[in-house]
Homo-oligomer: A and B are copies of this chain.
Amino acid sequence: MTIIVYELVGGDASRPFSPHCWKTLMSLAHKGLDYRREPVPFTGVPKVEGGAGKTVPIIRDGERVVVDSFDIALYLDEAYPDRPSLFGGEGGKSMARFVEAWTATQINAVIIGHIVQEIHQMLAPDDQTYFRQSREERFGMSLEECRQATQERFDSLKGRLDPLRLMLKRQPFIGGESPLFCDYIVFGAFQWSRICSPVELLDTDDPVNDWFQSLLDLYDGLGRSVPAAA
């Protein structure tokens, strides 16, 4: 049975950019499952599957609807235990929550201020209105002010990646010799930036860049199916 994955898109449905949706695409590919992608604009999310969740990704697998990229990964491991695991055991499920929290606070929260205007420009008109209002309320400033107000944080990004850089001296993926969901969590952040903004986050000689490029190569170059922003 083909799994339906609802994923966020802007005005151009061929450039899905949501970091969380990318985690789910990589998870489905990791499990080797058939899936069909359903594009959803921001303002369409409340209508998905009769209002199943407030955010995408959402998947439908037969009778089952699952919301949230982490919960989807947990579901996929439970429903398809004979396919490659996304967590590598119970300890991995718990520690992936730490990787998730690290990514949210140290990467995504740093990138957003830098690319929020680019995201806005990618959206269809109705979504632009929703996005500007909700994000300006969240950040307490206009979208146009965000970049300058968060520049210092953004400049600190490379240093914040030291944990990943040090770990990569020992093993090629956070999951060990091959990637697990924890890698896709961090991948989602860099893929989001890659698709929304032409600013390169990583130097070409940074081991973190090598790691990211190898994840872009996976599953017949799934991540490269959307070209980088020019």
Q: Give me the interface of A with B, judged by CB distance under 8 Å.
A: 85, 87-102, 104-106, 162-167, 170-171, 173-177, 180, 182
Contacts and interface: CB of A to CB of B under 8 A. Distances in A.
21 contacts: A87-B89, A87-B91, A88-B89, A89-B91, A89-B92, A90-B92, A91-B180, A92-B92, A92-B95, A94-B171, A94-B174, A94-B175, A95-B99, A95-B175, A97-B167, A98-B164, A98-B174, A101-B164, A101-B165, A102-B102, A105-B166
Contact of A85 (B91, B104, B163, B182): B91
A97 B100 CA distance: 15
Nearest to A170: B97
A94 B163 contact: no
Contact of A167 (B91, B93, B101): B101
Q: Does more than half of chain A's interface fall in helix, strand or loop, or is it mixed?
A: helix
A215 to B, nearest CB: 15
A208 to B, nearest CB: 12
Contacts of A171: 94, 97
Nearest to A92: B91
Given A88-B89, A89-B88, A89-B89, A180 B94 contact: yes
Contacts of A105: 162-163, 166
Nearest to A163: B102
A104 B167 CA distance: 10
A110 to B, nearest CB: 11
Nearest to A105: B162
A176 B74 CA distance: 14
Given A88-B89, A89-B89, A102-B102, A94 B166 contact: no
A198 B92 CA distance: 35
